[in-house]
Amino acid sequence: MQLYKIRNGYNLDTDAVVHFTRKILSDGLRKPGSQLYYLDFLATCIKAPIVSHGYGGFLCMGILDQFHKPTLSEVQAYDILKLCVHEIHRRFIYSLQDFQVKVVCKSGTHELPTITKI
């Protein structure tokens, strides 16, 4: 938003920031291909093939790094997610019982079976 202020000479209020951000995101939907970025609270921004967030994400990065391939099928990706969830259940003292899995693809969204604690 600082760049916007420098370029245009004025600040945006909260409503304007929301609409500005929405427009940028929706413009990205019209470009071919997909992109994934990691963005944290310190404004660290990294383009990456895989990302995970939070304490559970630290436990999953090794699994994702080992098994990720750009050509994974949905079933293979779901199996990797199951490995991640089981690792979180095994090593993280405070873990959720169930993990919902939702897929976003070019034809829309759908849910996969919930991954539960064994």
- DSSP label at residue 34: -
pTM of the entire predicted model: 0.70
Ordered by start, the domain boundaries in the chain are 52-116
pLDDT tens sequence across 60-112: 999 999 999 989 999 999 999 999 999 999 998 877 889 999 998 878 899 99
Give the separation between CA 111 and CA 102, rounded to whole angstroms: 4
- DSSP label at residue 113: E
Name, of 8-12, 42-46, 51-55, 81-85, the range with top average pLDDT: 81-85
What are 51-54's contacts with CB under 8 Å, separation 24+?
Answer: 52/84
Burial pattern 84-105, b for ≥16 Cβ within 10 A else e, equals bbebbbeeeeebeeebeeeeee
